[in-house]
Chains A and B, each alone.
Chain A
């Protein structure tokens, strides 16, 4: 019962953060929402008893991909539709 509740909460958070990535016009906020999505999916992997995959998802998805997006935003425009 408890596990089921945590499970549904994580999946609801996944859907909410994916919609946030779609709706944000501020690209830095959208990148952070994508990082949060990655963190939640690593929690989901841990609940499904794959801690190995959870560690690599947290490091690659939430760490390195977010860093690469932030570097790209630093070089180009911060808001959508703006020209650098």
Chain B
């Protein structure tokens, strides 16, 4: 694509990435969550894929890394479930809520802007789903790109 598109993509890429990670991390407080944030982050990958040629894209974004993200997200999600089982609680039970550990603050009562450090296992699962959707949608786009270059273009 043209130089204007490339410069715009270079400028927008970090901001889209940060906004997607913000939607993922604030999934238990504001609208959005793992899937929505992951889709926003995958849009940044799509922007790079549209703006640059095939060789530059494959040098910048590795398919192996995206597949690893997909697997790490799934393992983190199922690990959060198994960890509750290991502690003696039922599968996927929220053992971190109100415990004072990671994401374990007690939710204040009354109208308040919201505390990020609450809700127990839910932010961890949002993070897992976000990483998984990022990797999965990026792999779909990369396979789409590698399918067309065999024809030449």
Contact = CB atoms under 8 A, between A and B. Distances in A.
Interface residues of A: mostly helix, strand, loop or mixed? helix
A5 interface: no
B97 to A, nearest CB: 22
B-side interface size class:
20 to 34
B148 A75 contact: yes
B39 to A, nearest CB: 4
Contacts of A59: 36, 39-40, 42-43
A64 B141 contact: yes
Contact of B153 (A63, A67, A74): A74
Interface residues of B: mostly helix, strand, loop or mixed? helix
B47 interface: yes
Contacts of B33: 52
Given A64-B46, A67-B141, A75 B36 contact: no
28 contacts: A52-B31, A55-B23, A55-B31, A55-B32, A55-B36, A55-B39, A56-B36, A59-B36, A59-B40, A59-B43, A60-B39, A63-B39, A63-B43, A64-B42, A64-B46, A64-B141, A67-B49, A67-B50, A68-B144, A70-B50, A71-B50, A71-B141, A71-B144, A71-B145, A72-B144, A74-B153, A75-B148, A75-B153
